[in-house]
């Protein structure tokens, strides 16, 4: 499929059209799946755990409800879904993780053995779920990788029920001195360590580039409103290195 309108979304260095970009992103995550968790914890110095926990806690009022259905989109190896499950407990919401990389999902399945979570192989831009199925949709460090952000927001909106909530956790770019230090780490140190541990060079050059391409919070909130969401808000975490966008349908 070739784009006919200008879309805003992730692109790797080699790809420009939407389908090729999505395929390249899927291949990239598949190639690093075996080392993904280790790299995540090393490169974020374990702060990623805090970010998942904070995001899950923010939606505790939904995940604690036994009648609620929760979708964690671009779930990867499952850590956001597990953080939600921890908040809700065994009597809490039914949690489904969805991702388009079978290799990432396989690891989620293994890590979640014995827990009542569902794992579905699916493209976030074409979800195999009915309208209004979920009470909450989350996505951690996944949304930024979509080849078309507006289409992604529309699809999340479609599968949420009225009054349902969305939480998108992703990287940001801190400002000021912290921003300078962070950019040095993110653009120089992180790609070098990432390439060394994973043995694959593409993904860790793509990561800072994808964060730089991602809309600033004000623009992202505007896009969420355009998709139909209300009460849109952004909460930065850790000097704005990451942050969560949240809203209601």
Identify the burial level of 17 via C-beta atoms within 10 angstroms of its C-beta, where 0-12 means exposed, 13-18 middle and 19 or more buried: middle
Nearer to ligand SAM, 12 or 40 (CB): 40
For residues 181 and 175, what is the distance between their CA atoms, to the nearest angstrom? Answer: 10
Region of 92 (left: φ > 0; alpha: ψ -120 to 50; beta: rest) is beta
Q: Can you tell me which of 142, 164, 191, 194 binds ligand SAM, judged by CB under 6 A? A: 142
Residue of this chain nearest to ligand SAM (CB atom): 76
Residue pair 198/204 in contact by the 8 Å Cβ criterion: yes
For residues 247 and 205, what is the distance between their CA atoms, to the nearest angstrom? Answer: 31
* 76: contact with ligand SAM by CB under 6 A: yes
Burial 27-43 (b: 16+ CB within 10 A, else e): ebbbbbbeebbebbeeb
Sole window of 93-101, 154-162, 194-202, 236-244 interacting with ligand SAM (rule: CB under 6 A): 93-101
Sole window of 117-125, 155-163, 220-228, 230-238 interacting with ligand SAM (rule: CB under 6 A): 117-125
Nearer to ligand SAM, 68 or 104 (CB): 104
Q: Which of residues 22-61 bind ligand SAM (CB under 6 A)?
A: 22, 25-26, 29, 40
Residue 193, number of CB atoms within 10 A of its CB:
14
* 135: contact with ligand SAM by CB under 6 A: no
Smallest distance from ligand SAM to CB 91, Å: 24
Residue pair 150/8 in contact by the 8 Å Cβ criterion: yes
Sole window of 61-69, 73-81, 177-185, 237-245 interacting with ligand SAM (rule: CB under 6 A): 73-81
User: Which tokens in the block code for residue 63?
Assistant: 């995940």
* 70: contact with ligand SAM by CB under 6 A: no
Sole window of 12-20, 76-84, 160-168, 187-195 interacting with ligand SAM (rule: CB under 6 A): 76-84
Contacts with ligand SAM, residue ranges (CB under 6 A): 22, 25-26, 29, 40, 74-76, 79-80, 99-101, 104, 123-125, 140-142, 145-146
């Amino acid at each position: 499929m070739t784009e006919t309108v200008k879309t805003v979304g992730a692109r790797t260095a080699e790809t420009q059209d939407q389908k090729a970009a999505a395929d390249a992103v899927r291949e990239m995550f598949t190639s690093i799946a075996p080392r993904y968790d280790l790299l995540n914890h090393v490169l974020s110095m374990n702060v990623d755990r805090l970010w998942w926990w904070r995001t899950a806690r923010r939606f505790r009022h939904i995940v604690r409800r036994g009648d609620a259905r929760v979708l964690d989109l671009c779930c990867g190896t499952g850590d956001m879904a597990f953080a939600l499950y921890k908040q809700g407990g065994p009597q809490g919401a039914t949690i489904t993780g969805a991702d388009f990389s079978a290799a990432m999902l396989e690891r989620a399945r293994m890590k979640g053995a014995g827990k009542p979570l569902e794992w579905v192989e699916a493209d976030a831009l074409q979800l195999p779920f009915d309208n209004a199925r979920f009470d909450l949709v989350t996505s951690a460090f996944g949304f930024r990788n979509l080849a078309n952000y507006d289409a992604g927001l529309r699809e999340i909106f479609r599968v949420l029920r009225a009054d349902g909530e969305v939480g998108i956790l992703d990287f940001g770019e801190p400002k000021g001195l912290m921003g300078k230090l962070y950019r040095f780490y993110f653009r120089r140190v992180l790609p070098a360590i990432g390439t060394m541990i994973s043995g694959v060079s593409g993904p860790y050059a793509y990561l800072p580039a994808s964060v730089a391409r991602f809309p600033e919070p004000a623009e992202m909130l505007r896009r969420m409103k355009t998709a139909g969401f209300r009460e849109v808000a952004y909460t930065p975490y850790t000097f704005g290195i990451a942050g969560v966008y949240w809203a209601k349908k």
